[in-house]
Amino acid sequence: MVQLDAIQKRLIEEIADLHSVPAGAYNFRANSKLAGRNTTANIDIVSKPDGSGIDIHVKPGTKNESVHIPVVLSESGIKETVYNDFYIGEGADVVIVAGCGIDNCGSQDSEHDGIHRFYVGKNAKIKYVEKHYGSGDGRGQRILNPVTEVYQEEGSSVEMEMEQIKGVDSTERTTLAELKADARLVVKERLMTHGSQNAVSTYRVNLNGAGATADVVSRSVARDESSQTFNARITGNAPCSGHTECDSIIMDKGRILAIPSLEANDVDAMLVHEAAIGKIAGDQLVKLMTLGLTEQEAEEQIINGFLR
């Protein structure tokens, strides 16, 4: 049974597109307490004995199942660090939806630091979706500092979608990945900051086995007086291929620092990085205005498309 109030339900909708209790395994956490849990024959969720988080075990060969682990904070002044460890069995193929929504109407800061570790078995495949959302008009800050660690066995595949579009005042995201032979990692990050928000996103990807591939792509928009730092490094320690790209739209008095970097320790490592920062192109605005949109509507459409 999941017990959530109206604000918590709204946050869940924002971060997990969930309008009701999902099918499959789930673990809902609201204001630092367990609000509901379901396990299936193939996916088990157990609390860590010391109460610091949960362990999620996906049996080898599990196919077409999903795990939802949303977290919502609707009281002001909560500060928590949670450790969630995922053990994905060989050959499994699952979707994991995480995410954190904070509604802070109070004057104290609310902070959720989720540390997610993924141990992905041989030839297993996961799609991991993480959304962050903040709301509430209190003076208290909404802070999220997620750490994601991914350990990929041979032939495994991980696709990650990270999205933070609204309302988070401060975020420092760190993603570390270690890939063995023929493992594949694809990261799609979408970020928008506004007001005086600050976001830092750091990636360290190590391609350790022959045939490992990584593609880390970030698209971001910095509006108002917000600032962003994107710092991604791909290290090739074997014959492998890696690509990182950071594409940003800067608006108003926003600030963006992009630091893509590459390190090759093997002659057959093929690594590429790209970074671009610029304001919305004038001809894009003009084109949409010739279709009858106002300048502001045109801007919204361009940003919505860019962050899709």
58 or 288: CB nearest another protein: 288
5 or 274: CB nearest another protein: 274
* Nearest-approach distance from CB 277 to another protein, in angstroms: 14
The 10 Å CB-count burial string (b at 16+, else e) for 58-92 is bbeebeebbbbbbbbbbbbebebebbbbbbbbbbb
Asked whether the beta carbons of 130 and 159 are under 8 A apart, the reply is no
The contact pattern for another protein, residues 11-40, with x = CB under 8 A and - = no contact, is ------------------------------
262 or 293: CB nearest another protein: 293
* Nearest-approach distance from CB 302 to another protein, in angstroms: 7
Asked whether the beta carbons of 162 and 99 are under 8 A apart, the reply is no
Residue recorded with tokens 């970097």: 261
* Nearest-approach distance from CB 28 to another protein, in angstroms: 32
20 or 296: CB nearest another protein: 296
Within positions 263 to 302, which residues make up the interface with another protein, using CB under 8 A?
281, 283-284, 286-295, 301-302
- CA atoms of 247 and 89, how far apart (whole Å): 35
35 or 285: CB nearest another protein: 285
Asked whether the beta carbons of 56 and 39 are under 8 A apart, the reply is no
* Nearest-approach distance from CB 288 to another protein, in angstroms: 7
| Among 89, 159, 151, 97, residue whose Cα is nearest residue 124 | 89
Q: Is 191 in the site for another protein (CB under 8 A)?
A: no
* Nearest-approach distance from CB 287 to another protein, in angstroms: 4
46 or 289: CB nearest another protein: 289
46 or 281: CB nearest another protein: 281
* Nearest-approach distance from CB 8 to another protein, in angstroms: 31
- CA atoms of 167 and 89, how far apart (whole Å): 36
Q: With CB under 8 A, what is the number of residues at the site for another protein? A: 22
Within positions 192 to 231, which residues make up the interface with another protein, using CB under 8 A?
219
Exactly one of 247, 262, 264, 275 binds another protein (CB under 8 A); which one?
A: 247
* Nearest-approach distance from CB 107 to another protein, in angstroms: 38
270 or 307: CB nearest another protein: 307
* Nearest-approach distance from CB 255 to another protein, in angstroms: 21
Which residues in this chain contact another protein in the complex, by CB under 8 A? Answer: 219, 247, 281, 283-284, 286-295, 301-302, 304-308
